[in-house]
Structure 1
């Protein structure tokens, strides 16, 4: 999604009202319940949130010159910087070592990379769940993706694309400055 993202992809920037900011926080917490104790650290009450509208109906929400969350259609998705600060708040999957170079180049994650030795897949995550992607032997998340199949289906089929990547280390969103 952000593979070739640059400043030229930005269409407009605008401050958002505090009521819209409260709605954003509520929706973000409803999507990721574990964020409730830290949501005021991610989006502080007295800070000014900025909405940055981009190509392909992508909306970035920036707080204090840092993009903390983005929206693509209905999904609110945290940036990797937020996942690195609060890793316990997001569902987690782990790929084997062989998948690392593909994930860092922006490729979708295939089911065998999620089911092989060295990989870890939690039980009962439904389709369209936003997950943080970790790698065998690494402590921080490499990417954020959206499940194309449920985790049970990934384990049983073990074929095809399991996770669609939306944001990864070194992509355009990772490197963008909001000033």
Structure 2
């Protein structure tokens, strides 16, 4: 399980003063048109092809999908009272962590070391040193029964990635890569993910019931 911890200053991690998903008051809620709902299903399948066997369970064709507006131009797609996917402007459609926890094998992933956990859970920008340290994992750092990246392949900047944590069973964050994993290995510094969705943020705590 993850819990929030106090944060000390560390130059490898950059606190973000305000992020779209940290704390927010939900805005308007509306029904998604059937044509738009089909487009969302297609985009989800295109981005996460391993979800195909379960797509009808996640996004049933005959169920009504709702759109909830979040500040800073974030759209949250919900089914009943359950948040499923979110999208910032025209960025990729990103799954809610609860979807990831249910289908963890369906998404590209990397791993942070133990020392980075408290910074991620405080909303700080995820920096590359937390991924290239001995406890971190990037594609090519595979262990027995564990394969990182996308089927072991390198990930490019702009791709959605799930962030696991050393010693934890479930993912703690999901977001869009600021730089590719090969570049991370070469530079070993810089921001890895900004404005991700993490355990304990406003999206995680959101109650739609």
> For each residue in 1:29-85, what CA deviation from the matched residue of structure 2 results, as whole angstroms up to 9, or x when unmatched?
111121111111111122111011221111111102111001111220100000000
SS of aligned partner of 2:27: strand
4+ residue stretches of structure 1 with deviation over 3 A? none
TM-superposed CA distance for 1:99, in Å, is 0.4
Deviations 1:82-104 (A, max 9, x none): 00001111110100010010011
Distance 2:195 2:122 in 1: 10
Q: How do 1:57-72 residues align onto structure 2 when only pairs under 5 Å count?
A: 57-72=73-88
- Asked if the contact 1:96–1:119 (Cα under 8 Å) also holds between the matched residues in 2, the reply is yes
Normalised to the residue count of structure 1, the TM-score between the two structures is 0.94
Name the structure with the higher strand share.
1
Structure 2: gaps (5+ residues): 1-19, 140-152
2:189 is the counterpart of 1:159: yes
1:143–1:165 Cα contact (<8 Å) kept: no
Cα deviation 1:105-146 (Å, max 9, x = unaligned): 111111111011111112420001111110011110001121
TM-score of the pair, normalised by structure 2: 0.81
Which consecutive unaligned segments of at least 5 residues does structure 1 have?
A: none
Per-residue CA deviation, residues 127-177 of structure 1 (Å, 9 max, x unaligned), is: 011111100111100011211110000000001112224100010001111
User: What number of residue pairs does the alignment pair up?
Assistant: 176
What's the secondary structure of 1:133's corresponding residue? strand
User: Greater helix percent: which structure?
Assistant: 1
User: CA–CA distance in 1 between the matches of 2:67 and 2:129?
Assistant: 38
RMSD of aligned residue pairs (Cα, Å): 1.2
Deviation at 1:17, TM superposition (A): 2.3
Residues 160 and 175 in structure 2, CA contact (< 8 A), matched pair in contact too: yes
